[in-house]
Amino acid sequence: MKFETPLIKGTLLKRYKRFLSDIKLEDGSIVIAHCTNSGSMKTCIEENAPVYVSPAKDPKRKTKYTWEMIFINNGWIGINTGHPNKIVYEAVLNGEIEKLKGYTHVKREVKFEDSRFDVYAENDKEQCFIEVKNVSMKESEWALFPDAVTTRGQKHLRTLMEVKKQGIRAVMVYIIQRADVSKFGPAKEVDPVYAATLKEAYENGVEIIPLIADVSPEEIKIKKEIPFFL
């Protein structure tokens, strides 16, 4: 996924009210940038760290910028939770995910019963529903999800189990927008119900694919799959 317009560099002053951040741009001006990440972001917040923001496309939007990434541990961490869906859609469409190659029709935002999944793919042999989650939390070498309790995430897992019961391929993809990790697992202490539901989903045939994304001010692209442990 390439950024359509050049990003603007700045420095993080603070994040507040979950969806707002104060950013000091290189020209010295201070702007309010929208933060799409509704989680705690407890391992990807560092005041005075370099950041990049994108200008808002809608001139009527109250916040004129969107916070895209932050530089921590010698690497960029993507914090825009709106991107992983597009990243996975493009990667499946272009055959860039080894385990999700071979699909001839790929769509975004497709309904199944009372849920809507991020990506749907099919070929003449099978159908596949794919749910995508953004991961930014880190603990030692572990990437963990979620960083806050997510009842919506729990529902998605239960619906993926129903997809599998109906003989359709069901896949849970985690896009890890940071490179300083080597393993993935559920954040059991943050949301034990989600962790238990993920284990149940896996045991019932839902596939789990954790992917590290290479984040840069020019683009975000899938780098590699890492092992997961439940």
Residue-wise pLDDT tens digits, 25-56: 999 999 999 999 988 898 999 999 999 999 99
What is the edge-to-edge ordering of all strands in the sheet holding 127-135?
105-112, 115-122, 127-135, 169-176, 207-215, 220-225
Provide the pLDDT confidence category of residue 135 given band limits of 50, 70 and 90.
Answer: very high
**Pairwise CA distance, residues 44 & 72, whole Å:** 7
Report the 3 state secondary structure along 163-211. Answer: HHHCCCEEEEEEEECCCCCCEEEECCCCCHHHHHHHHHHHHCCCEEEEE
Other CB atoms within a 10 A radius of the CB of residue 124 amount to 6
CB 209 within 8 A of CB 222: no
Mean pLDDT of 132-138: 95
| Per-residue pLDDT at 85 | 96
Percent of the chain with pLDDT over 90: 94
> Strand, coil or helix: what is 156?
helix
**At residue 114, does pLDDT exceed 90?**
no
| Per-residue pLDDT at 181 | 97
| Per-residue pLDDT at 165 | 97
| Per-residue pLDDT at 105 | 96
**Pairwise CA distance, residues 196 & 198, whole Å:** 5
CB 177 within 8 A of CB 215: yes
Provide the pLDDT confidence category of residue 99 given band limits of 50, 70 and 90.
Answer: very high
CB 206 within 8 A of CB 157: yes
- pTM metric for this prediction: 0.94
**Tens of pLDDT, residues 149-196:** 999 999 999 999 999 999 999 999 999 999 999 999 999 999 999 999
Provide the pLDDT confidence category of residue 113 given band limits of 50, 70 and 90.
Answer: confident
Q: Which helix (H) or strand (E) holds 22?
A: strand 20-25
Mean pLDDT of 194-213: 98
